Structure 1
Amino acid sequence: MGTLKTIGFALLTIFCMGIVQVQGQNTLFKKVKNKVEDKVEEVVSEEAGDEGAVKTSNKKQMKEYVVDQGFINRADLLFHDDFNGERATEFPSKWTHIKGSIQNNSFSEAGQRDEVIEWISNYATIKPTIEGDDYLGDSFKIEIQVHFNLEGGNQFYNLNLRNSKDIYKHHDIRIANSLIGNGNDNLSRMPGQPPRGWHTIQVSFNKGNLKAFFDGVQLVNNPDIGKYEFTHIEIYASSPGSSRVGQTKSMINHFSIAKAGLPLYERLVTKGRIVVQDIYFDNDQYVIKKESYPALEKIVNMLKEHVDTEVTIEGHTDSNGTEEANQLLSENRAMAVKKYLVSKGIKSSRMSTVGYGEERPIDRSNNEKAWATNRRVEFVMR
């Protein structure tokens, strides 16, 4: 009996040692895997260059980072949509229908839930609703997050840069998984196959010089595409999943256009005001947060370059809280902005302040998206 116990104990010991060894190997594998992934991120960052492209791998992509990584400055935004607050199955409210079927929806994958628009028919086409369809000009940036399902079929997204004055001067940028096609040029491919999921595409156009990035890797660098001046953009997609049961449809969850290089002063003169939503304060506070400095420095530079310009600084809040508290908060925030500008050398006499509280909302919807839009500072020419 004792011999049996001894043998049993020995076998148990050997078994436990095997488990520890396997666990150790798994731990080592995970450490090596993490180092490899970190190295991939470094390569992506290095290859992105100094264009301000997203410097992150797809592994760490989250919806919130897209606008804030420096490729597009929020102060320069001409159009932005992340589809939050939209009703599922309805047509997206900020877009104009051209052909086919597209709808709002929600999509969850890998623990991330996104509000999206999805293509429920192949080659459906839409465009941002911007009055006049004449907003791109010779310098702009575009940022879009697209989903690739890798389930077979010819899935792609097409950014069609349009020239409404000359039908022979349109230009297509086609995005498929791991590649970008630039007009009639050859396709440019990623060094490797990106995984299923969300991918960020960035396009920079500056007086004929077109650059395009796929997850931070530059795939297009064309210094002269005819020196076109484009007026507006249309988007369509091939969506194999729209006709196949159980297959994921083509989707986007974020789209932005910035009027790159458009001087603040030109915007102020043209529209009479500049709306800035990149001036941040803590909740119910009026101390300017350091994240606001880049946007404020642009205002400082504009006022220094145009010494005869005088402005009224308007403070606006959302509708949370009492009207009285929001009114006082908006006044204090406008005054805080003026004090900052004075500290940077702008004469106090060139600026006045006023607070409107929650009185003048841009978006009257009762949701977080609307509240964020309504919290802002405006600079009005006087």
Structure 2
Amino acid sequence: MKTIRLVRLSILVCMAFAVTNVYGQDIGGIVKRKLKKKGKDKIEKTVDDGIDVIEGKDKKSDPTVSGGGNGEVVVVSTNEMGGNAPIVNFIDPGSAVFVDDFNTERPSEFPSKWTHVSGSLQNDQVLTNGEKDGVVEAISGYSTIKPTIKGDRYLGDTFKIEIHVYFYGKGNEVYYVNLKNDDNPYANHDLRIANGSLHSGSDGIVRFPGGIQPGWHVIQYSFNKGNLKGYFDGVQLINDPDITHNPEHPRKTFNRLEIEMVSPGSNAAPPRRQMISYFAIGGQGLPLYDRLINDGRLVMNDINFEVNSFVLQTSSYSILDRMVAMLTEHPELSLAIHGHTDSDGTNEFNQTLSENRANSVKSYLTRRGIEESRLTTSGYGEDQPVDNSGTDKAKAKNRRVEFVLKK
């Protein structure tokens, strides 16, 4: 009898270890929800009601391509990425002139924040460790788009670029960031992101140390009055002191850019379409005035408050000080300050909170010399969300302060 009990106890212990291992993997997946930004997870491609979905898996073995029909799983990436971690907060949100994570887009439609230049592209969704994220993918072998920004003049002497791209590790996969000068075609400069290397123009080629693994990768560029620095997954590969130097054709600065995707597997079976999951352009900071004049408003997600409070966090001071500088330089401007919250809490609480937060911002500006008569405040609570998906990312977008130009 004792022997039977010991056997049963042994079986229970083994089952407990097995369950612990299974849930340990699941928890690990939850912790790694940001892995599409770091390129460390295994990715599987499936078809779900006609929508391509990519699902992250914490597998350690090298998979092989299989299937290809509807509903069949096709593994398209393997292994973990080497190198350092991407540079966090590379672009100051307050200086961002363009940001798109494609999360509010409808799959199979053209991305709404972009203008078509050539080729064929569409929005899609990927599922990484249980969290859906939007992407834009190339349907044709060569596709080009550009940010839809009024006037096409937004880069200037100083700017930063961040782009998150996917590599399958098969064929001549390439992404181009084409810097443009519409006043002087000789001033154009192409930044090539190839399978494991960065190219600055036709001569500056640097390969990623140790090669590249299939998956998501983060590329970041910093341009400052001719000097270009480029980072591949946090490793600096480009440090060119003056990419605008050309004795035969003196170059001016860049005014806009285009993104080109070379997707050799777009027509394969199953298709291997190049994808972008995030793209941002940051300026030095005082294109604030230009953005305000062009768009009629400034939407700020980096003016932060204490939780359930209208007390400003110190991290908000830098962007508010820049607002003070802009308003001081342009005394003709008058602004309406609008406060918005997410949907957590009651409608009544959020309405009052949004009003108080708008007033806190006004108080900060007036204490630093801006005339009170130039500023008005309003609170809209949770009534005007910009993202209704209910995710943490969506709530962060909905918690915002907007400065609206008064006519």
Give 1:337 deviation, angstroms: 2.5
Q: Distance in 2 between matches of 1:204 and 1:84?
A: 25
Corresponding residue of 2:337: 314
Cα separation, partners in 2 of 1:165 and 1:349, compared to 1, 3 Å: closer
Report SS of the residue matched to 1:298.
Answer: helix
Question: In the alignment, does 2:233 pair up with 1:215?
Answer: yes
Question: In the alignment, does 2:354 pair up with 1:354?
Answer: no
Alignment partner of 1:116 out of 111, 122, 135: 135
Contiguous gaps of at least 5 residues in structure 2: 1-37, 39-79, 245-250
Alignment partner of 2:320 out of 287, 296, 302: 296
Does the 8 Å contact 1:88/1:104 carry over to 2?
yes
Question: In the alignment, does 2:96 pair up with 1:77?
Answer: yes
Alignment partner of 1:145 out of 158, 161, 164: 164
Q: Distance in 1 between matches of 2:128 and 2:83?
A: 13
Does the 8 Å contact 2:95/2:287 carry over to 1?
no
Report SS of the residue matched to 2:186.
Answer: helix
Does the 8 Å contact 1:138/1:228 carry over to 2?
no
Q: Distance in 2 between matches of 1:61 and 1:88?
A: 32
Q: Root-mean-square deviation (CA), in Å?
A: 3.6
Contiguous gaps of at least 5 residues in structure 1: 1-40, 42-56
Corresponding residue of 1:86: 105
Cα separation, partners in 2 of 1:259 and 1:325, compared to 1, 3 Å: same
Cα separation, partners in 2 of 1:208 and 1:60, compared to 1, 3 Å: closer
Does the 8 Å contact 2:191/2:201 carry over to 1?
yes
Corresponding residue of 2:14: none
Corresponding residue of 1:130: 149
- Tell me the amino acid that sits aligned with residue 161 of structure 2: I
Give 1:180 deviation, angstroms: 0.6
Alignment partner of 1:106 out of 108, 114, 125: 125
Q: Give the TM-score of the pair, scaled to structure 1.
A: 0.70
Alignment partner of 1:192 out of 210, 223, 226: 210
Corresponding residue of 1:285: 309
Q: Distance in 2 between matches of 1:202 and 1:191?
A: 16
Does the 8 Å contact 1:309/1:381 carry over to 2?
no
Corresponding residue of 1:224: 242
Give 1:274 deviation, angstroms: 4.1
Q: Which has the higher helix share?
A: 1
Report SS of the residue matched to 1:240.
Answer: coil
Question: In the alignment, does 2:185 pair up with 1:167?
Answer: yes
Does the 8 Å contact 1:147/1:198 carry over to 2?
yes
Q: Distance in 1 between matches of 2:134 and 2:182?
A: 31
Corresponding residue of 2:33: none
Does the 8 Å contact 1:163/1:230 carry over to 2?
yes
Question: In the alignment, does 2:280 pair up with 1:256?
Answer: yes
Report SS of the residue matched to 1:292.
Answer: helix
Report SS of the residue matched to 1:168.
Answer: helix
Q: Distance in 1 between matches of 2:304 and 2:273?
A: 37
Corresponding residue of 1:180: 198
Q: Distance in 1 between matches of 2:346 and 2:189?
A: 51
Q: Distance in 1 between matches of 2:315 and 2:97?
A: 21
Q: Distance in 1 between matches of 2:258 and 2:341?
A: 33
> In the TM superposition, what whole-angstrom CA distance separates every residue of 1:192-250 from its partner, at most 9, and x where no partner exists?
11322111111122222222111122211222222432221111111122021135321
- Tell me the amino acid that sits aligned with residue 287 of structure 1: V
Q: Distance in 2 between matches of 1:307 and 1:87?
A: 40
The number of equivalent residue pairs is 319
Instruction: Name which of structure 1's ranges 316-325 and 285-294 shifts more when overlaid on structure 2.
Output: 316-325
Q: Distance in 1 between matches of 2:305 and 2:168?
A: 40
Larger Rg: 1 or 2? 1
